[in-house]
A = this chain, B = another copy of it.
């Protein structure tokens, strides 16, 4: 695959198509198995609440990976992402119901670099709370 967004077509301020990623309890179970992180705050409501959390919370790296999809869906090629970093601001709380949590992601081109890459500034919210800060990806465009 190669990037399907052309550098010349993008400006500082260009908005990416917004993305909502549902995270349900089952996704946390799957991520636990894939990552090897079986911390019960991610699957045991009783334990999570006993340690002061409102409910089970998503793995920070799962939230980060979910937010990054706004960039990879846009550019069409996960391999085009050359840098990615976030600040883990607040956890995504995942209730035990049919809907789970919704991570609502928006992003805008924050800078064009001279080397054919752009910096994308990402905002990720759940229940109107910002869950990631300083979320930025550097992406190589076509």
Give A contacts to B, CB under 8 Å. Answer: 1, 27, 30-31, 33-37, 39, 51, 59-62, 64-65, 68-69, 72, 78-79, 81-88, 91, 134, 136, 138
Contacts and interface: CB of A to CB of B under 8 A. Distances in A.
Contacts of A85: 83-86, 136
Contacts of A35: 31, 34, 65
Nearest to A42: B78
A68 B60 CA distance: 11
A34 B30 contact: yes
Contact of A37 (B36, B78, B91): B78
A14 to B, nearest CB: 22
This protein's copies in its complex: 2
Contacts of A82: 87-88
B61 A68 contact: yes
B37 A34 contact: no
A39 B62 CA distance: 18
A50 to B, nearest CB: 12
Given A33-B34, A34-B27, A51-B1, A64 B84 contact: yes
Contact of A30 (B1, B30, B64): B30
Contact of A86 (B31, B33, B37, B83): B83
Contacts of A51: 1
Given A1-B51, A82-B87, A84-B86, 14 more contacts: A31-B34, A31-B35, A34-B35, A36-B69, A39-B78, A60-B78, A60-B81, A61-B61, A61-B68, A64-B84, A83-B85, A83-B86, A85-B85, A85-B136
